[in-house]
Amino acid sequence: MASGDSFSITTPIFYVNDAPHIGHAYTEVAADVLARWNRQSGRDTWSLTGTDEHGQKILRTAVANGVTPKEWADKLVAEAWVPLLQTIDIANDDFIRTTEQRHESVVQAFLQKLYDAGLIYDGEYEGYYCVGCEEYKQQSDLVDGTGEFAGQLVCPIHGRPVEVLKEKNYFFRMSQFQQRLLDLYEAQPDFIQPDSVRNEIVSFVRRGLDDLSISRQSFDWGVRVPWDDSHVVYVWFDALLNYISALGYDPEAADGLFERFWPSNHIVGKDIARFHAVIWPAMLMAAELPVPRRVFAHGWLLVGGEKMSKSKLTGIAPAQITDVFGSDAFRYYFLRAISFGQDGSFSWEDLSARYQAELANGFGNLASRVIAMTAKYCDGVVPESGPVTEAELAVQATVRDALRDASAAMERFAIHEAIAAVWRIVEHLNGYLTEQEPWKVAKDEAQADRLRTILSTALEGLRALAVLLSPVLPKAAQKLWTALGVEGALGALGEQSIPTAAQWGQLPAGTRTVALEPLFPRIEQEPVA
């Protein structure tokens, strides 16, 4: 099992039936910020993302486009899903595809292990199925359709009619795990977060669990069931295993990455929390493996009050935003403006306003002014501080408190709270400069010592900000870091690690600063919505 000092985080693996929209990018960015924060805090960190390529949904899309499902998946992965990582600046450690051999062999070995343990049997299934969700539905899950689907039962997420399936399937004895799951939720209250999702899952499991159909016979785009090749594995059963196949899990010899990093933290959208907090831990219990460390369900990006989706034509491509505002602003905006765990609405106006007020005027301008004043009044060299006053001690206290509060918030995955805590440094430093008026102090030779103290304090504050903001704004933080003249890349461990960020005096007097281009330049072009 992983030691307490390692941190492993995953995104869901994404269906390759279509290209990503900003809802998918949101999940990616959140997991990436948590990974970068932990990595920079000195933990042995591993982050995983990837693509979910089997199942009926992908098969149908490929057929509709006149290609094989593998050709379709290869194209979408190469042209859309891998490039997304660069578009939004994701520093993942691995990218898993469910069509890779390293994954398929784990699925088969895992299934065989459960079969040998008597936890899989064959039976008949008749019920509703939503191909959009790739999920069997109960009648009580469905709602009445409207418009062209009036009079039919539709999936509440996709708004489309479900299909009725009748098949011979293999079943996993999931019902046997009801009590163990309830015990897990009780013993580990943060296993599912936030509480609203936790409560919903607990009551769902309390109502009783059915066994789960885990194979399909009517099509062949999937991993073959090892003892019966007329069946392929149900796409969710296959997909969930990516979290351990990517770690090289081997039922015969669990070692290496698996030992180092399992159990992981899973970041998922709330629509897929049940798969991760019910089916997945039951599968792991059946295989006698440790359950995940945590399942955190974030909310949806809404358009007109509904989940943004390509199928409803409300999807916005991430590059539409990053081409105009840059990847840092994308990352900042979604994680700052939406409480992580709640739904949120995207608007170009809100994005523009926050870019201007918070990034360009708040943080960017602060950094430019301090570096420019250092050039003008101190020949570009970090000055030696003179005696400090209450005002400087207050800045130091704000940095200390921000680090404490942001760290505590990141432990809970409350990313928006962590950013807000760090932003108090931006606000305090801006207020400090307004009050201290270094441009006036500079005019009085007799106050040269005071000027050095003010600039040295502001520069130290910027150093702490560069460290603490680097998980969210990696590009801007690195530019600032370079401008501060600090040696080494930001994000490397050692003195620049997050736990030591608040220790005052790490930017030695005499360090030569470098001119800084605006971190968040003025936007000339209006985005096309």
Q: Which residues bind ligand MSP (CB under 6 A)?
A: 12-15, 23-24, 26-27, 52, 239-240, 242, 268-269, 271-272, 300-301, 307-309
CA 236, 317, 39, 509: dihedral to nearest 10 degrees? Answer: 180
Q: Which amino acid is at 41?
A: S
> What is the per-residue DSSP string for 37-85?
HHHHTT-EEEEEEEEE--SHHHHHHHHHTTS-HHHHHHHHIIIIIHHHH
Cβ closer to ligand MSP: 135 or 358? 135
Cβ closer to ligand MSP: 24 or 416? 24
User: 443: Cβ–Cβ under 8 A, 6 or more apart, which residues?
Assistant: none
231: annotated active-site residue: no
24: annotated active-site residue: yes
CB of 456 to ligand MSP, least distance (A): 44
475: annotated active-site residue: no
Token duo for residue 52: 């979910």
Cβ closer to ligand MSP: 135 or 392? 135
378: annotated active-site residue: no
Candidates 111, 94, 59; CA nearest to 238 is 111
Cβ closer to ligand MSP: 44 or 271? 271
CB of 361 to ligand MSP, least distance (A): 29
CB of 138 to ligand MSP, least distance (A): 19
Token duo for residue 474: 């990696």
Cβ closer to ligand MSP: 105 or 506? 105
The catalytic position among 103, 130, 231, 428 is 130
158: annotated active-site residue: yes
Give the Cα separation of 282 and 174 in Å (integer): 6
Residue 87 near residue 285, CB atoms below 8 Å: no
57: annotated active-site residue: no
> What is the per-residue DSSP string for 134-175?
TEEE-GGG-EE--GGGTTSEE-TTT-SB-EEEEEEEEEE-GG
Give the Cα separation of 193 and 267 in Å (integer): 10
User: 121: Cβ–Cβ under 8 A, 6 or more apart, which residues?
Assistant: 170, 171, 173
CA 50, 54, 55, 60: dihedral to nearest 10 degrees? Answer: 100
Cβ closer to ligand MSP: 276 or 354? 276
Token duo for residue 243: 């979290």
Cβ closer to ligand MSP: 268 or 426? 268
Which residue has the CB atom at the shortest distance from ligand MSP? Answer: 269
Place of tokens 């899309």: 61
312: annotated active-site residue: no
CB of 12 to ligand MSP, least distance (A): 4
The catalytic position among 307, 416, 428, 479 is 307
CB of 26 to ligand MSP, least distance (A): 5
CB of 27 to ligand MSP, least distance (A): 5
- For the chain, the C-alpha Rg in angstroms (whole number) is 26
Give the Cα separation of 137 and 141 in Å (integer): 6
Residue 155 near residue 375, CB atoms below 8 Å: no
Torsion sign (Cα): 108, 132, 16, 241: negative
Candidates 266, 241, 210, 212; CA nearest to 108 is 241
In which element (H, E) is residue 229 found? strand 228-233
The catalytic position among 113, 137, 310, 312 is 310
CB of 295 to ligand MSP, least distance (A): 11
Cβ closer to ligand MSP: 335 or 371? 335
The catalytic position among 54, 103, 133, 276 is 133
CB of 75 to ligand MSP, least distance (A): 16
Give the Cα separation of 161 and 132 in Å (integer): 10
The catalytic position among 113, 137, 158, 312 is 158
Which residues participate in catalysis according to the annotation?
21, 24, 130, 133, 155, 158, 307, 310
